Structures are given as structure tokens and as C-alpha cells.
Copies of this chain bind each other. A is one copy, B any other.
Amino acid sequence: MSLTDPTRPTDVCLNTDLYELTMAQGFWESGLVDSQACFNAFFRENPFDGGYAVACGMGQIADLVENFVFTDEDVEYLAGLEAPGGGPMFKSSFLEYLRNHRLDLTIDAVPEGELVFPREPMVRVMGPVIDCQLIETALLNLVNFQTLVATKCARVVRAAEGHPVSDFGLRRAQGPDGGLAVARASYIAGAASTSNVLAGKIYGIPVFGTHAHSWVMAFPSELDAFRAFAKSSPKNCVLLLDTYDVRQGIKNAITVAKEMEQAGERLAAIRIDSGDLARLSKQTRAAFDEAGLPYVKISVSNDLDEYTIQSLFAQGAPIDSFGVGTKLATCDPQPSLGGVYKLSAIRGGAAEPWTPVIKLSEQAYKRTIPGVQRVLRYYDDAGCPTADMICLEGQPVADPSRMTDILDPFASYELSGTPVELLERVVEHGRRAKEPDGIEAARDRCKGALMRLDPAVARFLNPQAYPVGLEGGLAQLRHDLAHEERAGSSRPTVG
């Protein structure tokens, strides 16, 4: 496991697909060292059949760029790689170029916690084409999963209707990083806490946890186990009722709760981790109320997601908090956002104008949007977002009251309200453009954005599509470029 590998922290630059390096070598050899590119990271469909995604991971992009350096050890590894056809894969002069190469990138991104919609850039990367390629994989590895899991958690939190949700997913995550990403993104998206202690330490997220079934099994009886835990953790006492039989568990927990009262303490909650949570939570609530213990809260866990939580409330389950693990950490049933990183413009050097480019495909929905793009989000008087329009940077908006649908050039939307730039500068020429807001600010931003989102877009079942379109001139440019590329025409050489 890399966690135990002392070489890890220096290896940001090798956390990449090999083709980024073979392309970098190719650009370097083709005399395109000064050529500049603009790439966009985006996704094509909202995850979970939902109406939105929660941008996440962007607060760590500046760290990634500033820490990106090929060490001597990295260069030595690359120097030892053989090409499949024989000989070294990389030329030694190129590797000398890479050694201590620093990224000269300028990056704009959707602020963490803000909502983001299909096909609009969530991260826009500009700079030397070589640098743009070198950062691609690590950047996608950073924002794809965190955006996905933040979106999943926002849905779970919505279903929980104000009751606290705790991330319990570490053991089913993809290694330590996966667990950290789940905890961080979930907190930004509204989770109250995490079981992950390392996430608590690194990110300052509240940590939560009490005991497992094994605690109960390690004692001669459940009652002994409950008493011992109450004695050890009287200020953090949640008793797990379902090691053997919940009915007996309820009785034992009530006994211990009464004993705690006599010692001046309070049993905070009980937890149920298996069985019919709707029925068992009702039985538990009734028993504790009858015993004069209405303050003891009920927490549940066991393969929960947004739909099981909705169902529990629909059945009237008196549940106070949720531990959500597996389905949060793995983003079941859609474990990938499908985020991509596509070239949208090139230029021969930093002083030249941009040339927009387009990628076609047999699959029309894979056709990209050309040009250096910015996004205007239109807000109504109540501060609620009504539509996003993608425009070209540095070009006037032909008609700020109308945009063309991204997928359907024959459909257009009326725009109204106040446009606000969605992307913000996070890296300027390889250096952080500003200190990151921190995860508390991102969490507040997410909460506000979800509160102001049209309920028709926010709902789980058949959500209304949030309008995202292209400014008129950009729509025309895209149309023209698609025709030209289909015809196989050549652009003038850049670089």
C-alpha cells in the first residue's frame, strides 16, 4: 500500500497515465514547447439520474500544481523504461527537460461546494500544451471522484431531512486516499461528521464513533459490555443493540441508561445496524419513551443510501441520525462521474490569439465545445440560479437574453436576471492565485446553493433539466467547426 511507502509524497508528477508523458515528449520534439492549450474538465451527464452535481476537489488543485516536480528518482525510473519496439521510451534530452520542470499553468475552477451541470467546464486549464497534458490525469483523479461523492452525499443529506449523516465508508473505500476523499467531499456536501480519524486530523472534520459488535462479543454478556462502555465513555455513549437480539438489546440498554442517570450521566443514543430498521426503530423508540428515556436518540446504519432513508421516513421511522458507509464511499449505483478533459483551443505562443478546436465522434453527444470558455450563471431577484450560459472568453455576448441549447441547436432559452461568473482563478502561472477558502466555506457555499436550487431540479425522481446553453456566437462557431472537421480541412499551423 502506498500509505506505507516512503516514496509517495514526492510522486505527484508520476500519478499519471503514461500517454501524458509520451505526448509531452512528442510536443517537445515537434518544436511545440511554446505552444499553448486550453483544456476543460467536464462531465456529460448528471450522476445518479439527478439534476445537478456538487463541485469538489477544486480547493486542492493549487497544491497539486505547486507540488508537481519530477525528482531525480522519477527521471531515473522513466529513463529505464523500454519502448515496446526496443530502445528507450524516452530520450535523455527530454528527460533533462522534465527534471525540475515546473508547470506554468493558469487554472480557473468552479468553487468547491457550488453546483455544476453537464458539459460546462468545472475546471479550465490554460498554459503550455505540455504542462496541460502533464497535469491531466492527476487533476481528473482529484476532481472526478470528489465531485461524484459530494453529489452522492448531498442527496443522502437531502433525504435525511436535517437529521445528521455521518460518513462510515472508510473500510469500503479505495485505500486511504479514497477514504479521505469521501470524508472531505461528504463534509462539504453536508455530512455532519465522519468515522475517519485521519480525515479529522488532516481536514478538521468532526469525528464520530463509539463501539462495534465485537465489543459486545468480547464480554461475558451484552449487559456487561454495555456497562463497561458506559463506564469508559459516559460522554460519548451510543450502544449497539443488534449483536444478538434487538429486543434483549433494548432491555439491556434501558438498564444501563437508568444506571447512567443515577451516576449523573446520559446515554446519548442507541444504534441498530441490521434487520428491519423501520420496525426496530419504532419498537426501540416506544420502549425508551415508556421507560422515561425520551432523550435517548436512535441512530441506524446498514447499507443506507438516499432511497432507503426516504423509505424509512415514509414508514414513519423515528430515526435521529444515520451512519452511511458502503453506498456513499462507492457512490453506488454509479461509481464514476465519467469526467473528461478535452482540448478546446490552441495557440502558437502566449502572445498569440487562441484558435478554437473541436473533437467529433460517431457518438454525437461526445462532440466537444470549442474555444476558451467562461460560464455565466444567471440569478433571479431571490438569488436563485435560473440558467447557465457558456460564452467565449474575451468576446462580447451577442445577445445576453438568449442562448442555444447545448445538445439541440434548434432550441433556445430566454435568459433573465443577473449573470455572475461561475469560474474563479485558482492558479496563475503555476502559483496559487489565492489561499483556498477552506472546507467550512465550501460547506456553507454548498448548503446555500442547494437551498436556492429549484426543487424541480433538486428532486430525485425525473428531475427537471437545469438550462445550460451556448452563447449565440459560440453555438455558431461550434456548428461551423464541426462542418470543417468533417470535411477534413486543415487549420493553419500553430507553434
Contacts and interface: CB of A to CB of B under 8 A. Distances in A.
B170 A145 contact: no
Nearest to A362: B275
Given A4-B9, A81-B200, A141 B233 contact: no
Given A11-B201, A197-B21, A220-B491, A214 B179 contact: no
B15 A9 contact: no
A22 B177 contact: no
A17 interface: yes
A208 interface: yes
Contact of A14 (B198, B337, B488): B198
Interface of A: 1-9, 11-12, 14-23, 25-27, 29-30, 32, 35, 37, 39, 57, 60, 63-64, 67, 74, 77-78, 81, 83-87, 89, 129, 132-133, 136-138, 140-142, 144-145, 168, 170-182, 195-198, 200-202, 207-215, 217-218, 220-222, 224, 228-229, 231-237, 242-246, 248, 265-266, 268, 274-276, 280, 326-327, 329-333, 335-339, 341-343, 346, 357-363, 366, 485-486, 488-494
Q: Which 9 A-B pairs have the closest CB atoms?
A: A18-B209, A175-B177, A85-B235, A174-B178, A275-B362, A19-B209, A330-B335, A83-B235, A174-B174
Contacts of A361: 242, 274-275
A122 to B, nearest CB: 14
B74 A220 contact: no
B173 A4 contact: no
Contact of A212 (B23, B29, B209, B332): B23
B11 A198 contact: yes
A450 B22 CA distance: 35
Give the interface centre of A8, A171, A493 by most chain B CB atoms within 10 Å: A171
Nearest to A18: B209
B236 A83 contact: yes
Number of identical monomers bound together in the oligomeric complex: 2
Given A174-B178, A220-B491, A363-B275, A195 B335 contact: no
Given A27-B218, A29-B231, A174 B171 contact: no
A353 B258 CA distance: 36
A211 B25 CA distance: 11
A189 to B, nearest CB: 16
A174 B4 CA distance: 17
Given A235-B83, A335-B331, A360-B245, A3 B15 contact: yes
